[in-house]
Amino acid sequence: MNVFDRSINLDALFKFSQMSRSTQAHLKKVYSSLALCMLAAAAGSYVHLATRLLQGGVLSVLGSLGMMFWLAMTPASPHTEKKRLALLAGFAFLTGVGLGPTLDLVIAVDPSIVVTAFLGTAVVFICFSLSALYAQRRSYLFLGGTLMSGLSVLFLMSLANMFFGSVLLFKAHMYLGLLVMCGFVLFDTQLIIEKAENGDKDYVWHCVDLFLDFITIFRKLMVLLTMNEKCSPHERLSPRVRERSLQVACRALAAGCRAHAAGSREL
């Protein structure tokens, strides 16, 4: 029998027998909302880079955090669905504006790094998402404690590097952070599945977790590619970069604590 004569059933690739149909429909809404977030974030970055009408900085960070907490405080119901989607788009837009200063630095070194980082992030995110979707249910939820410990280590590394200013330590922080965020893609995806199976169909808030994972990976890849292009391992970090790294670590630790605490309560 010729193996090349066998028909290939592509539909089998999209069957997830361990998930109910309602959960699969829920995931479609989550990833559709994630695509909306990507477009809004791209628009926000464009506003910063091209129009200069709204600049990324402290105000954009505070605005995005405010939108996120407003979204968290708005109960999920059919009556508030449009409002929550608008808050989600506003949160993503301001997050994109907040990426502006990082994009400015990267484009000054090599504009192609932005495209490379985005494609790399997309590949990483898709691969880890598919791994979580095809894996046995709850098989990656044990990573929660380890990932939270990783966030704590990242925070301590950033704090220490405020005094040492070592490029090597900063790179180690970025690579470890990239590994931790890849783990969060696995963890968050399976946590969303479990929540949906238990009746939590808040696809808007579930989208926030995945969007934060994607943006953090994208930011870290951009920084790493830029440093590999420009920096020497024996250079010292400028005070501005030290302060920036600590701010990023603080926000990541806070977001991770919030997501893990919310997941623990609901499970």
4-18 pLDDT per residue, tens: 455 555 455 555 557
159 and 174 Cβ atoms separated by less than 8 Å:
no
* pLDDT level of residue 231 (50, 70, 90 thresholds): low
Beta bridge partners of 236: 166
DSSP string covering 47-93: IIIII-SS--SHHHHHHHHHHHHHHHHSPPSTTTHHHHHHHHHHHHH
What is the 3-state composition of the chain as percent helix, strand, coil, each rounded to the nearest 5? 80, 0, 20
Distant-in-sequence, close-in-space partners of 152: CB < 8 Å, separation ≥ 6:
253
pLDDT higher than 70, residue 245? no
Residues 74, 252: Cα–Cα separation, whole Å = 23
pLDDT higher than 70, residue 178? yes
For 36-46, what is the mean pLDDT? Answer: 94
How many CA atoms within 13 Å lie on the side-chain side of 125? 21
Using the Cα atoms of residue 112, residue 117, residue 120 and residue 122 in order, give the sign of their dihedral. negative
Is-above-0.85 flag for pTM? no
Q: Which SS3 state, helix, strand or coil, does residue 236 take?
A: strand
Record the tokens describing residue 195, joined without a space: 């929540």
pLDDT of residue 16: 59
Q: Measured in Å, how far apart are the chain's first and last C-alpha atoms?
A: 50
Q: pLDDT above 90 covers what percent of the chain?
A: 45
